[in-house]
Structure 1
């Protein structure tokens, strides 16, 4: 099983992040924390990279094998359907999953990747060189291939130095055999394609080829970005991914999926069961508008929305709603300490008596959780 890390609420929609050849989960360090506010983010390492065992693949490996490892990982986590974003080889894995396992991938982001990587010859040559000489020479030249001039991330170059040469070479074999051009038109998952305008490894023409072939795909080209865009332009990549992966909620029953993810199935089921012909239109209204329009807007994360909601409920003395939204804040990743800090802030701006009542409600709810 590949090594992986998880971030974000267990009840949030799952989002898998795939790495580039030669890097580890660290490629996503500047992006994943923000995405984890609204998703259960799972980062995984390629075989022989980061903390993944080298013997997960061998000579003659394929992208399909790597995709199989990702599916096995998802199964082990109890994840049936997931959104996916990947860079370079990790992006190729995502494209393969979307084309050959469409029932598993809800939305896809293909970043600095390709439907083919320039033919088998150069990759077979690189694999042979690495098996013979190791990775030191490739690590020396990595910044020129990965980043724009004058920019580097030493930790990612160190990842390449530390990778297992045999597993790295097997990944090169997978890239040599990879050509997904004939299958691109079969991808049905909503797809965002991101290119770095200064990427020498997968130039923007490769991204345009994907966007032209995948039905209704969106293309974004980032200025000032090379091959490892999440490391070089993290704010732009984060904003694009947040908007792309937040989009499905607007179409899922007027936000009912988000309402359930934030408030919990038990709360929503009670509200639905208590609905009458008189209140049914109101229940539909809050599902469509509050949860289907406001809570799905990617401008603010769910953590940020929880903090704002707690403050508003304290200000107006809505203590029953406050209890529900303290539970929601925990689902959205807020710690008890952060909730306490938010309530303390309300003592200054909403009044000490209001904050006193809010602390009593929060203490009861948090004690029930424990």
Structure 2
């Protein structure tokens, strides 16, 4: 019989260092939507759903569950993916899972990032009461107040609120049981992996004092407080969290993967990452950092203008396979077939008629494929 696993999403090349990302109570792995794609430029990113949240089965845990039970599910997931040692980052309950792993399974972690979380969650009574309420009433009333618990006034992420409302009440209550019983304060000084702590200064659930408590106990830990951030800082301040994680993980890179996907499309980038090997990994990293993270993000020229320049350069050097890819990109950047034709016509003057002839053949094929697919 196949073991039932946590629902998860994997991004990035299989040859890259693995990084597991844990969610907070009431959310799914979409919590990491603004951060995970960027981290996948340098890591094999695996983000997972809590039991009864997102796509994970509710019966993975039951009443009286512990954070240790959740950590066991994470290890089972890592084992199923052939991942022995990994970096880990988690938010709130996901951060508690990371602390448990660092204390009880340090040989599995290469580094730890704990975001808007704690070594304890203000005693058992509030969580016991919440679990009882959810088992009795369901999640609608809690979901109605999610924004106040998660974000500063005026900010929301509707998808996350919907995830909260759609979570399984029994599994949610079991996660509350886990938080009620969680307290690692007397074990923190045994954590030896490189540790980053990120606090939201406006976080009412796990205020900065909770993260400072961990920082004071864990040798060499780094603490960062984000102004204007509440409990789900990953969703509210993704750039700041991304910058901190990159520095912590030792692989700093400008923001480029998102732009690369926007211009070239998910399918192309996914294929490129799937083909990546240790031999080509540095080149793929170079493309994401330099071409997409610095040049294509420079606001001096619009993406339309950059597409026109790129088409011309590719025709000039006869790179027709790349030209096909960038004709598709030009369409995503708003160029019409007529404008693409005008660019190629101009290349006939400055790059030569034979080059333009080949370019028109390539572009016509790509545009015909678009018409056939209904794009």
Unpaired stretches in structure 1, ≥5 consecutive residues: 248-295, 306-323, 361-370
Q: Aligned pair in 2 of structure 1 residues 21, 114: CA closer, same or farther (>3 Å)?
A: same
- Measured in 2, the distance between the counterparts of 1:59 and 1:352 equals 67
After TM superposition, the score normalised by the length of structure 1 is: 0.72
> Partner residue of 1:106?
110
1:171-182 alignment runs, 5 A limit: 171-182=175-186
1:352 is aligned, of 296, 316, 322, to 316
User: Deviation string for 1:150-192 (max 9, x for gaps)?
Assistant: 1111111111100000000000000000001111111111111
Residue 14 of structure 1 corresponds to 18
Partner of residue 125, structure 1: 129
Give 1:287's aligned residue: none
Q: CA deviation at 1:299?
A: 4.1
1:224 matched to 2:179: no
Is 1:192 aligned to residue 196 of structure 2? yes
The C-alpha deviation readout for 1:248-291, integer Å capped at 9, x for no partner, is xxxxxxxxxxxxxxxxxxxxxxxxxxxxxxxxxxxxxxxxxxxx
Shift of 1:298: 3.3
Shift of 1:326: 9.4
SS of residue matched to 1:85: strand
Distance 1:328 1:348, change over 3 A: farther
Question: Is 1:30 aligned to residue 16 of structure 2?
Answer: no
Aligned residues of 2:314 and 2:320 also touching (Cα < 8 A): no
1:68-217 equivalences in 2 (<5 Å): 68-217=72-221
2:46 aligns with 42
Residues 37 and 333, structure 1, Cα contact 8 Å, conserved in 2 = no
Question: Is the Cα contact below 8 Å between 1:108 and 1:190 reproduced in 2?
Answer: yes
Q: 1:326 to 1:347 in 2, by over 3 A?
A: farther
CA distance in 2, matches of 1:181, 1:45: 26
Q: Residues of 1 paired with 2:278 and 2:126: CA distance? A: 55
CA contact (8 A) 1:37 1:303 kept: no
For the 8 Å contact 1:115–1:210, the answer to whether it is kept is yes
Work out whether residues 38 and 257 of structure 2, in 8 Å CA contact, stay in contact via their aligned partners in 1: no
Deviation track 1:3-31 (CA, whole Å, cap 9, x = no partner) reads: 00001111111100000000001100111
Shift of the 304–242 alpha-carbon distance from structure 1 to 2, 3 Å rule, reads farther
Looking at structure 2, the residues matched to 209 and 231 of structure 1 have their Cα atoms a distance apart, in angstroms, of: 24
Structure 2: state its 5+ residue gaps: 261-276, 293-305, 324-375
Within 5 Å, which residues of 2 pair with 1:268-279? Answer: none
1:109–1:193 Cα contact (<8 Å) kept: yes
TM-score, normalising length: structure 2: 0.71
Secondary structure (helix, strand or coil) at the match of 1:192 reads strand
Corresponding residue for 2:359?
none
8 A Cα contact 1:302 1:332, kept in partner = no
Q: How many residues align?
A: 290
**CA displacement, residues 195-238 of structure 1 (integer Å, 9 cap, x when unaligned):** 00000000110010011111100000001100000100011111
How far 1:303 sits from its partner (Å)?
10
1:57-72 map, 5 Å: 57-72=61-76
Distance 2:27 2:281 in 1: 35
CA distance in 2, matches of 1:352, 1:80: 48
- TM-fit CA distance, 1:242: 1.2
